[in-house]
Amino acid sequence: MDPAANVTGGANLPAPDDAMDLERKRAADWPHWPDRGNGPTRRDRLQRRLFRDSEREAEIAAASETIRRIEQAAAAKAAEIERLEHAAAGLNGNGATPTIEDEPTAGYVVFVWTPGGYRILGGFGDVPDVGSRVSVDGNEYAVAKLARSPLPGDERRCAYLEPL
């Protein structure tokens, strides 16, 4: 039996030329019709939405990369802080945080560089002016700047010294 024999008659005939020339009286019946004159085509809307979604994905990827970099930098800074704390504990000898070597009721704080590292000392009287000379342990220093004390909770002024 021939498989083409089951085909109904006329199914292979072409459609008449005017089959697609239907009168469309109501635009609401044809929501997919592109020439309604009331806005962009659906394809344009979908393309814009796809473009917006791809832009958002790119922004999310960039934000994720920025967060990853910030986390790496924070971890590196935390490791550096820990290393510096261990180094400061080694310089101090007993593992305690540095303290002012003179009386705690001193009038100001002096932050001075020495060959063995930085030292924090207490000073009596008025804070020296910027540019003035100060002698510490027989060495001459100049006051580089005045700022608040580097010690937490200390309200005194601090004279930062640099060697001459």
pLDDT number for residue 105: 52
Q: Who's near 37: CB < 8 A, 6+ residues apart?
A: none
Dist. CA 28–CA 64, nearest whole Å: 45
Q: Please state the rounded mean pLDDT for residues 39-55.
A: 78
Question: Is the pLDDT reported for residue 12 higher than 50?
Answer: yes
Q: Do 125 and 103 contact (CB within 8 A), yes or no?
A: no
Query: pTM for the complete prediction?
Result: 0.37
pLDDT number for residue 97: 41
pLDDT tens, residue by residue, 58-102: 899 999 999 999 999 999 998 888 888 877 776 655 444 444 444
Closest CA to 108 of 154, 44, 56: 154
